Amino acid sequence: MSQPTNPHDTGLPGALTDAAEEVVRRVQRSLVVLHNGRHGVGAGVIWSRSDGAGAYILTNYHVVAHGRQVRAALEDGSEIPTRLVATDEEIDLALLRIEQNGLPPAMVADSRQLRVGQLVLAVGHPWGQRGAVTAGLISGLSKAQTRGTRGEVEIIRSDVRLAPGNSGGPLVNASGAVVGINTMIVGGDQGIAIPSHVAQAFVEQATKG
């Protein structure tokens, strides 16, 4: 007679499961829900601490573009107003500031080190499901045409399943470090993210001086 499966795996499968759960918990601590008035919900990443009080949150431009007052819901459930610091519609990024101390910034990896076939995870709030995780592989590292002065922007393509609510959330590697900011779906099965090195350059430009 067969025995019921133990939900707590042991050995190598259990170790891998525990490691994956720890990665997800680490990422979720730096994840926020962004409420943009009546225009729905998006995600944001606590990117860095401010030189003074508070912290910076990175998200997509299209998440905050039409909201007069964007509020950030933290991991503990509290909601705090944000202040818009900078936007770049062409690369679909926006930087917010929140006056809250002690928030844990995400680990950020250099996306220029990514390779096709690498495992990545997307963390966000698809269809309002807070902190949901999907996994996939990087399928391409390329450039997309834009309508602005840049002419093109670097992008990460993956088969990670994205949905409304993932916008502005992190794409992370197997160590839980952010390698991109999820921004859109194309063709129904391709997730597009802005590389973390592009995002970091945007943040540095927005906060210098």
Catalytic annotation, pick one of 30, 35, 88, 92: 92
Q: Is 4 helix (H, G, I), strand (E, B) or coil?
A: coil
User: How many CA atoms lie less than 13 Å away from 202 in the CB half-sphere?
Assistant: 28
The DSSP-derived string for 45-86 is EEEEE-SSSSEEEEE-HHHHTT-SSEEEE-TTS-EEEEEEEE
Q: How many C-beta atoms surround the C-beta of residue 94 within 10 A?
A: 27
Catalytic residue, from 30, 111, 158, 167: name it. Answer: 167
Give the count of beta carbons closer than 10 Å to the beta carbon of residue 1. 2
Q: Which of 62, 111, 125, 158 is catalytic?
A: 62
C-alpha 136/C-alpha 121 separation (Å) is 6
For this structure, is 62 an active site residue? yes
Residue positions annotated with a catalytic role: 62, 92, 167
